[in-house]
Chains A and B, each alone.
Chain A
Amino acid sequence: MDGLLAGNDDAIRSLYARFSRPVYSMGMRLLGSREAAEELTQDVFVTAWRKAARFDATRGRLSTWLMTIAHNLAVDRLRRETGVSRPTLVLMDDVPDTPGLDEEDLLLERDAAVRALSSLSDAERTLLSRAYFRGLTAREIAEADGIPLGTVKTRLRAALIKVRRANEDKERS
């Protein structure tokens, strides 16, 4: 990050090499087109550069920080395009996979993330996905499923805390 702060080309390229694929994949998943995903990727790295000094490695991983920026920008873009204050996400269920091209770090990170989510039941995973990838609020999920709002909030919270604990366990081990 020091290199990024200094505007060092190598640092930008290094960051790009490590994180462009997950960021671009996020763009494909949420925005649904290569053009939009490319613009998102560009915006994420520009934003990362602008906000680099705010990143604190003692408070979180670089991958988390970048993917949070990517998610926020994707959601902001959808808000801009739909003109509403909540995103209506375009789902792209069949994102083309290109196996074998991942770098080792990314593979390990993805594998760890998949294992963290394996701590969830199918219902919990689906619930969190409806919020994260489709932008549904707890109220909308409650209305759609015909269950109390408080119940949805409790379940969302419990599921997300499970993921958090799984991440913590992984880091300890």
Chain B
Amino acid sequence: MTCLEVRDRLVERSLGALHLEDVTEVDRHLGWCAACRKEAEELDRAAATFALTLAPVVPDPDLEERVVRAVHDVHEAPPTRRPSRRSRSAAVAAIAAAVVVSALGWGVAMAGRAERFSDAFAQAERRNDDMIHQLRKVVGSQVFEAAGNRAYLGALAPTAGRSGGGSALTWTSPTITDFTFVTVAGLPPENRDALPYRVWIVQDSSGLRLPVGKPIRHLDVDGGAMVSQDARDLTGFHTVIVTDAQGGIVLRGTVGSEASVAVPTP
């Protein structure tokens, strides 16, 4: 989205009346464009004026105790870090390193050379296993263990009659923007009708889908691709799906705590 397109939507965004898909796109732009972000913050401030004019209603006196208890229950360790762009950069760098190591690990020499379907399938499985292994190491690294941060990892498996696999890592943080990172591999590159693929992260309680990155219009020679997405709050978004151009679900997986990650069977 360009600055012009974003600014055209900022008023509706501040008023909470923008379609979710647009909110995601706009928020992604605001993540890096300081000028638009400043404009958005000023409009948010103006919109919040409406909320402050509401006739005040006094809540039940017990609510205070429930709120205090809820704050303590949700997270054991309070967030103690200040906002830091560096910590996000470190996280992204750690993921990028894992991608490189994984690519080297499963063998660049073999890439694209599988001649039979079974070879390609085995190759994709190995690639996914290696990626999960590398990401598991990343999740256990210091940058992801900072107070209040939560990293969730999962493997994607093909749905019935489909091939391929993938991995997903989601990070929620009290100090910086949440984000999710998804890799896929072993999707049939010759099936042009299936393109573009779309990756979604789904909130379990509501079924709400947020798009992850842009639609995948090109696969590498082994049917692989990577997408990532910043988001305001990914708490409760644990299911990742990949759909084809017709909307059919090709891959599905759940991100969970680091220890629970297992490579699923189709």
Residues of A within 8 A of B42 (CB): 164
Q: Cβ of B15 and Cβ of A128 under 8 Å apart?
A: yes
How many contacts between A and B, using CB within 8 angstroms?
A: 213
Q: Cβ of B50 and Cβ of A22 under 8 Å apart?
A: no
Interface presence of A121 (CB below 8 A):
no
Per-position 1/0 for A30-64, Cβ under 8 A of B = 00001001100110011101111110100111011
Per-position 1/0 for A125-149, Cβ under 8 A of B = 0001101110111100000000000
Q: Cβ of B16 and Cβ of A79 under 8 Å apart?
A: no
B213 CB → nearest A CB, Å: 19
12 contacts between A and B (CB under 8 A): A47-B233, A53-B79, A59-B41, A68-B48, A80-B208, A87-B16, A95-B57, A112-B52, A131-B16, A137-B18, A138-B11, A153-B8
Given known pairs A53-B81, A75-B16, A138-B12, the reply for A67 and B59 (CB within 8 Å) is no
Per-position 1/0 for B3-21, Cβ under 8 A of A = 0000010011011111111
Given known pairs A161-B46, A164-B43, A167-B49, the reply for A132 and B174 (CB within 8 Å) is no
16 more contacts with CB within 8 A, not counting A79-B206, A110-B53, are A7-B72, A20-B59, A21-B57, A22-B52, A25-B57, A38-B66, A46-B67, A49-B75, A54-B176, A76-B208, A101-B58, A132-B16, A137-B12, A160-B15, A163-B46, A167-B46
Where the two chains meet, the residues of A that have a C-beta atom closer than 8 Å to any C-beta of B are: 5-7, 9, 12-13, 16-17, 20-22, 24-26, 28-29, 34, 37-38, 41-42, 45-47, 49-54, 56, 59-61, 63-64, 67-68, 70-72, 75-76, 79-81, 83, 85-87, 95-98, 101-102, 106, 109-110, 112-114, 116-117, 128-129, 131-133, 135-138, 153, 156-157, 160-161, 163-164, 167
Interface residues of B in 191-216 (CB under 8 A from A): 203, 205-208
Q: Cβ of A49 and Cβ of B71 under 8 Å apart?
A: yes
B8 CB → nearest A CB, Å: 7
Complexed CA–CA distance, A98 and B83 (Å) = 39
Taking residues whose C-beta sits less than 8 angstroms from the other chain, chain B's interface range is 35 or more
Residues of B within 8 A of A41 (CB): 59, 63, 67
Interface presence of B74 (CB below 8 A):
yes
Complexed CA–CA distance, A140 and B7 (Å) = 19
Q: Cβ of B208 and Cβ of A50 under 8 Å apart?
A: no
Given known pairs A5-B78, A46-B74, A83-B207, the reply for A138 and B17 (CB within 8 Å) is yes
Given known pairs A12-B68, A80-B208, the reply for A64 and B48 (CB within 8 Å) is yes
Given known pairs A16-B64, A85-B20, the reply for A160 and B52 (CB within 8 Å) is no
A82 CB → nearest B CB, Å: 10
Q: Cβ of A113 and Cβ of B64 under 8 Å apart?
A: no
Where the two chains meet, the residues of B that have a C-beta atom closer than 8 Å to any C-beta of A are: 8, 11-12, 14-21, 41-60, 63-64, 66-68, 70-72, 74-75, 78-83, 148, 174-176, 203, 205-208, 232-233, 235
The chain A residue sitting closest to B75, CB to CB, is: A50
Complexed CA–CA distance, A96 and B11 (Å) = 30
Complexed CA–CA distance, A26 and B41 (Å) = 20
Q: Cβ of A85 and Cβ of B21 under 8 Å apart?
A: yes
Q: Cβ of B63 and Cβ of A20 under 8 Å apart?
A: yes
